[in-house]
């Protein structure tokens, strides 16, 4: 069942969303040569504490993993797709791209967003990969309207990505969000005909998150049971926003 939210609930989700936005804005400014992904983690955790928010990822146990995720951020560098772990050993260097994904729970409601940022001069292909991934998210957000169907979102991402010669990661998907970080529906970044295609309605809140590989779509999970990497070792990008469907169209809760 897809849980729909009333305006009072959306306002709470808005507060969570804006905190996530503020954290990511801060981290984007911090990202530079010589900064470690753990430096980003420390800053993000402090900001959550100061805001009285609970980190959504730290302590999270996925069905696949045997351990709880130990950090407030996922930092996924280069060939890492998602769920990379912050580390003081992972020092960012020119040419890297880092996806920063984070979520908080505030007053009972979740916000979830991700950005990918380049460090110094990056290759033209890496730049185009980030651009196309971000564009596919923006185009999908436009489809988050009452009366459309879920596949309108999925298909929009898929078409833009494949038309640009990149590939969609199939193992990980977006999701509904609210009092739980992961609610129904699942939102693949491609049209999955085996899945359901519900009509979108006012009050639904969706975390739309294209994960796009520069090369082949294949992904594998590293022995740490969390970090997903591309099978071919090429770069991957990830952008995400939490989006509410309202009478006035899509409301991106994770940016002003
Ligand atoms: Mg996320
Ligand atoms: Mg998410």
pLDDT in tens, 151-168: 999 999 999 999 999 999
Number of Cβ within 10 Å of residue 51's Cβ equals 16
Residue 66: the pLDDT is 79
CA–CA gap between residue 125 and residue 129 (Å, rounded): 6
Residue 124: the pLDDT is 98
Residue 62: the pLDDT is 78
Nearest ligand atom owner, CA of 102: 1
Q: How far is the CA of 119 from the centre of ligand 2 (A)?
A: 23
Residue 71: the pLDDT is 98
Q: How far is the CA of 95 from the centre of ligand 2 (A)?
A: 26
Q: How far is the CA of 28 from the centre of ligand 1 (A)?
A: 15
Residue 61: the pLDDT is 87
Residue 153: the pLDDT is 98
pTM listed for this prediction: 0.98
Q: How far is the CA of 21 from the centre of ligand 1 (A)?
A: 12
Nearest ligand atom owner, CA of 116: 1
Q: Is 7-252 a domain of CATH 3.40.630.30?
A: no
Task: Please list the ranges in the chain whose pLDDT falls under 70.
Answer: none
Residue 41: the pLDDT is 98
């Amino acid at each position: 069942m897809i849980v729909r939210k009333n305006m009072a609930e959306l306002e709470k989700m808005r507060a969570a969303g804006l905190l996530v936005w503020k954290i990511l804005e801060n981290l984007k400014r911090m990202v530079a040569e010589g900064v470690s992904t753990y430096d980003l983690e420390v800053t993000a955790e402090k900001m959550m504490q100061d805001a009285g928010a609970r980190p959504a990822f730290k302590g999270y146990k996925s069905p696949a993993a045997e351990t709880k995720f130990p950090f407030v951020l996922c930092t996924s560098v280069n060939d890492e797709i998602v769920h990379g772990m912050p580390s003081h050993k992972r020092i960012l260097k020119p040419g890297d791209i880092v996806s920063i994904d984070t979520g908080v729970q505030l007053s009972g409601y979740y916000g979830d967003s991700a950005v990918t940022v380049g460090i110094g001069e990056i290759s033209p292909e890496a730049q185009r990969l980030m651009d196309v991934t971000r564009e596919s998210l923006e185009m999908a957000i436009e489809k988050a309207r009452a009366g459309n169907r879920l596949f309108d979102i999925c298909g929009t991402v898929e078409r833009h990505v494949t038309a640009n010669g990149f590939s969609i990661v199939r193992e990980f998907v977006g999701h509904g969000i609210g009092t739980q970080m992961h609610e129904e529906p699942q939102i693949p970044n491609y049209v999955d005909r085996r899945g359901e295609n519900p009509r979108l309605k006012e009050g639904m809140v969706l975390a739309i998150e294209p994960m796009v590989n520069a090369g082949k779509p294949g992904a594998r999970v590293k022995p740490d049971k969390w970090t997903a990497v591309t099978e071919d070792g090429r770069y991957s990008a990830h952008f995400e926003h939490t989006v509410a469907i309202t009478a006035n169209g899509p409301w991106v809760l994770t940016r002003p």
